[in-house]
Amino acid sequence: MKAKIILTVVLVAVILALGITEQVFMQNSFDDLADKCVEIQEMLIQKDYAEARKAIIQMKEWWAKRRDILEFTCPNNDVKDIYKEIGELEGTMYAEMYDDSITRTNVIKSMAENSKNLLAYKIKNIL
């Protein structure tokens, strides 16, 4: 009987730890993505297009790694769509459509903020 109680407590602790870790990872990922969008947007406004291209490529590679984990822990179409939007941002940069690139950074930032709010454990999301 005592072993069952200990096992139950350990399992509950593991489940809570995994849930908390997932929430922290998810929120940090979306916050970091929004920050990267702001940085890229500032580069575009300052007309530092070469650095913006490098930052976009780095962001795309970074998000690809994060996306794999996020899709596993919290499936959401926005997580998939963000990668597509980053690809479109990259395309607008190569086409030298810099105004559109600024718009794309705003879209990605908004998607990150919305996804974070939808996937967070909040009373309004649970009910």
Confidence (pLDDT) at 80: 84
* Alpha-carbon dihedral sign for residues 98, 100, 106, 112: negative
Confidence (pLDDT) at 125: 55
Contacts 24+ apart (CB under 8 A), 75-80: 76/115, 76/118, 76/119, 78/111, 78/114, 78/115, 78/118, 79/115
Confidence (pLDDT) at 4: 87
Q: What is the pLDDT along the chain (127 residues), one digit of tens a residue?
A: 788 899 999 999 999 998 888 889 999 999 999 999 999 999 999 999 999 999 999 999 999 999 888 888 877 777 889 999 999 999 999 999 999 999 999 999 999 998 888 877 766 655 5
Confidence (pLDDT) at 127: 57
Confidence (pLDDT) at 118: 82
